[in-house]
């Protein structure tokens, strides 16, 4: 089972560190990261493995949303099924 975490917002020091820190805390393994910084806008898409997740997915999602609020970033955690079902036949 995999999930997609997207982070969009103003670039600051340590965004990747904080997001992956939360992942590690929930025993979620980061599989792939693509990120780009355009002028001072930071955009990252992270594919993570949630099969070994400690606790439930909504706890991870809540923590990411809280981080997003504090840092002024838009962070979304979504199960990969939604993308697969929408964009694959």
Q: How far apart are CA 13 and CA 34, in angstroms?
A: 17
Cβ 39 to other proteins shortest distance, Å? 18
Half-sphere exposure of 67 (CA within 13 A, CB side): 24
Q: How far apart are CA 78 and CA 61, in angstroms?
A: 8
Cβ 15 to other proteins shortest distance, Å? 17
Contact positions with other proteins (CB under 8 A) in 49-88: 56-58, 61-62, 74, 76-87
Contact positions with other proteins (CB under 8 A) in 16-45: 34, 45
- What is the token pair recorded at 3? 């999930």
Query: Which residue number, 7 or 15, has a Cβ lying nearer to other proteins?
Result: 7
Query: Which residue number, 13 or 51, has a Cβ lying nearer to other proteins?
Result: 51
User: For residues 50, 65, 67 and 56, what is the CA-based torsion angle, rounded to 10 degrees?
Assistant: -30
Residues that bind other proteins (CB under 8 A): 4, 6, 34, 45, 47, 56-58, 61-62, 74, 76-87
């Amino acid at each position: 089972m995999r999930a997609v975490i997207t982070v969009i917002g103003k670039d600051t020091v340590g965004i990747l560190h904080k997001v992956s820190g939360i992942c590690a805390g929930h025993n979620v393994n980061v599989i792939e990261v693509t990120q780009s910084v355009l002028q001072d806008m930071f955009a990252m898409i992270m594919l993570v493995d949630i099969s070994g997740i400690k606790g439930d997915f909504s706890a991870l999602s809540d923590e990411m949303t809280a981080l997003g609020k504090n840092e002024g970033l838009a962070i979304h955690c979504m199960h990969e099924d939604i993308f697969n079902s929408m964009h694959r036949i």
